[in-house]
């Protein structure tokens, strides 16, 4: 690295060669770019691994998700809700266009839970006993859905 004095004036500040400075900046830029690309890759990889898609009743019955933790979406069947006395367990059925499936859920039931409400339950499916849910979410009917149904 050759140092040069500005304007050849004695006592002037000595600056390092500009080519050497540019090389250091390139390395810094490359490292920052590598860190950013790595962070984006990490977020995409983790995001894809944790995203959970829910299945419909027909998809669950046709598939092989027995004993696996999954999400199931469907509408609560009219007349299927049974609350067990002395327990927080609720038995009900969810349905889609092709059929229905019995569900057992133990926990806090959402206020809007009732016949015809769309629910998403998370738990495990056993073809012989039905779906055992750990978590239940009830979807609020949209203002637009109720207006369309009224017409």
Q: Which CATH code is given to the segment(s) 54-141?
A: 2.40.50.140
Spatial contact of 140 and 110, defined as CB atoms under 8 Å apart? no
- The residue extents of the domains of the chain are 4-49, 54-141
pLDDT-based confidence at 50, cuts 50/70/90?
A: low
Does this model's pTM top 0.75? My answer is no
Q: Which of 101, 109, 53, 52 lies closest to 75 in space, CA to CA?
A: 101
The helix, strand and coil proportions of the chain, stated in percent and rounded to the nearest 5, come to 35, 35, 35
Per-residue pLDDT reduced to its tens digit, 27-37: 889 999 999 99
């Amino acid at each position: 690295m050759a140092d040069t004095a500005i304007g050849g004036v004695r006592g002037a500040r000595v600056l390092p060669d500009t080519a050497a400075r540019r090389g250091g900046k390139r390395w810094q830029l490359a490292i920052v770019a590598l860190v950013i690309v790595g962070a984006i890759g990490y977020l995409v990889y983790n995001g894809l691994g944790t995203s959970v898609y829910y299945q419909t009743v027909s998809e669950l019955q046709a598939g092989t998700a027995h004993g696996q933790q999954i999400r199931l979406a469907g509408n609560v069947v009219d007349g299927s809700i049974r609350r067990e006395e002395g327990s927080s367990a609720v038995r009900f059925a969810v349905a889609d266009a092709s059929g229905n499936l019995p569900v057992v859920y133990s926990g806090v039931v959402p206020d809007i839970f009732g016949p015809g409400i769309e629910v998403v339950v998370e738990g495990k499916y056993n073809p012989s006993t039905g779906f055992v849910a750990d978590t239940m979410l009830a979807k609020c009917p949209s203002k637009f859905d109720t207006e369309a149904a009224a017409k």
